[in-house]
Chains A and B, each alone.
Chain A
């Protein structure tokens, strides 16, 4: 509770006690008026001051003004009637203040809850300076500085581990609770929690550029990008308040005049003025105005806890309308890591062939070369290899153990005039020739992620109508992967430019309401990510380019997160629509009842405060997305 809230609470209690005890004190006339006015001023003086300032600043349609008019009006009527019934005016002011107090408390509380949830900001870094460890602000650590992270501490800055082994809890970043092992030489990103061993880290970034700062910045600013629903509400509120005030004036003036002149009966001015005042009290648009941004804020906060970063309320809204999901194959549905699948037609032992291939490719860092080296699995003795020529796009020629080895694709074999045996397996084929004679081929292929199939099915469950896969790979590989996963449509052998074109084609062929999401790994598909209605980058932990280009960032590379993100957005938008319909609906019904004289000030208070409280509580539900 803030100081302001405490003060208000004391005022509320004093006024409530005064009001109740005054009911038991039989006083009349001026004394009665003075006593009640004292209670009224205790609870409402600030509202009166604000209303006065509002009039001075020509802001006459704000809440304080409405409340001041309504309560002063009620007091005026009580004096006019000589009924001395001031209780209602004070009760209205009292309940209004209770409502305001609750709103401020609830919003403050949820703001704190959500911020705590996203609290991955490290408070300090243990900097090694002149051999001693010093606790400093993470901002002070320069690039290349050495920091120590003890077990239980957050990694404050991105860097490379230079000493120590440990397991890391990345759940604050990815929502994944399985710990990750880390050892010397590994890159480490900020925001992870070190669980077991002491780690010495050489920083590679400043704090401001580190993953944790970027994520915080992104989530904090997300609610500044307003969704259409939010814009609708603020426009609505701008028209609504003057309209309601006009309605109240009409309600106060028109029926009495009609009664007096057209029907010829008593005007009953006080009844109609009273109704108009009640109408004003019931009309406050607060429930809407507060609950919609709060729902989005809670939704974005909940999603970030699950490792789904949504860059704005507008993207959350678009995501919920997604009907087509387009995948990039490599790195998204597959691991992007090649593995040896088979060795065919080998003229020697398979291991020997692989050894030759791995040695010949030892100087290359191409993913294919690396996968061959990995499959070979033994230490590569570079002294056995010399005379390496890389023929770009075709393969490598090298001398290994004194024999001439050529390793490459069909084109290389044709180039060298070596007759090769084409392969019927699906995958990337690497032929090997030794001393100009064909020696067999190795089939390698990318591995489909274990969750991909389930992820595609989950998307269908989440209401996605069409799944599409784009790839630069050959048709046979693409068809096989798509068939395995249950993807509806495949486009293969695409260059990066073609991918943009295909996405544009898909966007043209759909209706405007169905949105298209593109899922990529963010590495070379930035143009596609930005062209799609919504770009989702996955496996983005530590990749600045992906965080930059995409609208939604999945912190780890689990494709199941895509359907999760869509479900979270749907839940959040569901709550938003519930609140819009509920708040506007109840409000209109209450206004109607009040105008017809079927409901009094009490219902008006409910329409103002009750609806707001219910809407705020409903909005908080958007935060809970763990089991969705």
Chain B
């Protein structure tokens, strides 16, 4: 159990000394995951809302499919993105493999279904409540989308946080498409995997503690902003 206590010491040491490698790795992790979440929000919110409001053949099947995609295995997404971006693959000419951009693409694919599926549920519930009122005002589904998304904004924050949690915690996809290259594509999770493979369990767990701390800080900040904003609008 020495490793566990050593891990806390290591984590503290990394933080107190403001370890330059750690700062770089944390910066890249945030850059990749936040960008992926931003993409997922841009795509997922309107898609989720549209799926909640429009009726069309095959809609139920699509909803089930979207919900299932929330469980996409990161390693499979990584593999598919690798095959697409590899020099031997269809998008190979772009030369994106082993870059942060490739990692953002892979994580965006993982996160978008989560944001879209949760948005759909939230908007669908709101629509049940407001559809008659909105229809009486002459608003069809299309014009209702922005209004409902705006109305659900505080609930949707949770959907976005769920997406961020998924992105920042996964290792399978970024390991394959990023390659875990030192100073280029090494993130918190791939660094942890690397230290485990070196048998340095204390350092690995120390990094894990830092990662959890960062996640906690982001969630706390979001929660505080949300609370204040809700109070301001109440």
A is bound by B: no
The interface of chain A, by Cβ under 8 A from chain B, is none
The interface of chain B, by Cβ under 8 A from chain A, is none
